[in-house]
Amino acid sequence: MRSLHVQASVTFFEVALKRPFCYLTLYTMTFVPASGKWSTIKAPKKAAVTYTAGMIIYNDATDNVPATTTTQQNILGILKETVASSAATTAIHIAAPQSVGCTFYGDLTSGESITKANEGDPFDFASGGLTVSTTSTYDVVTLVKFISSSKGVFKLNYTTGVEN
């Protein structure tokens, strides 16, 4: 029997054929795993912090929090759920890359753009961990594939974390 896998979306639309099944995926998240081996991990959350599905999460040496413009290491992965700051839950679920070759879809900060010529260029996260900025002070991610002026496929530039 064939099955159809659907996820809700407003920001991204991708149709991918995988083996004998057809997957139609519509994303609401800003960052979404694209390729490579990803697994779901459960990690403690910081109290009084709002988490939005699709944001990049890192460990600031104390807590697992949304990435910032200066985040350059200790990236855990992509948040899979939205959790209110007042939520009683003490854990969050994160899609964690299991190799340095993992890539993810990402949106650029409003007002910024890229071209095909930017493939291979380094970029940073925008404050709040929800978009990629065309600044490259910390070179946290690299554009692997240009999709449009506001979307691309990126990979993390690891300084710690996942090994080969």
- The residue range of the domain holding 42 is 37-97
| pLDDT confidence of residue 130 | 67
Q: Is 147 within the bounds of a domain?
A: yes
Q: Which of 38, 29, 16 is nearest to 102 (CA)?
A: 38
Residues 93, 109 share a domain: no
Domain count, the chain: 2
Q: Which residue has the higher pLDDT, 116 or 50?
A: 116
Q: Is 22 within the bounds of a domain?
A: no
| pLDDT confidence of residue 105 | 94
Q: Is 71 within the bounds of a domain?
A: yes
Residues 115, 86 share a domain: no
CB 140 within 8 A of CB 125: yes
CA distance 35 to 123: 19
Tokens of 104: 């993810």
Q: Is 8 within the bounds of a domain?
A: no
Segment 25-62, tens digit of pLDDT: 444 458 999 999 999 999 999 888 889 999 889 888 88
| pLDDT confidence of residue 98 | 93
Q: Is 161 within the bounds of a domain?
A: no
DSSP string, 54-81: T-EEEE-SSSEEE--TT--S-EEEEE-S
| pLDDT confidence of residue 80 | 94
CA distance 149 to 140: 19
Q: Which of 97, 119, 140 is the last residue of a domain?
A: 97
Residues 89, 42 share a domain: yes
CA distance 114 to 53: 24
Partners of 106 in the beta sheet?
152
| pLDDT confidence of residue 164 | 40
CB 55 within 8 A of CB 127: no
**In this structure, which amino acid lies at residue 86?**
S
Q: Which residue is associated with the tokens 């992965």?
A: 77
Residues 149, 130 share a domain: yes
Residues 120, 91 share a domain: no
Residues 108, 145 share a domain: yes
Q: Is 69 within the bounds of a domain?
A: yes
Q: Is 124 within the bounds of a domain?
A: yes
Q: What integer is the mean pLDDT of 94-107?
A: 92
| pLDDT confidence of residue 44 | 92
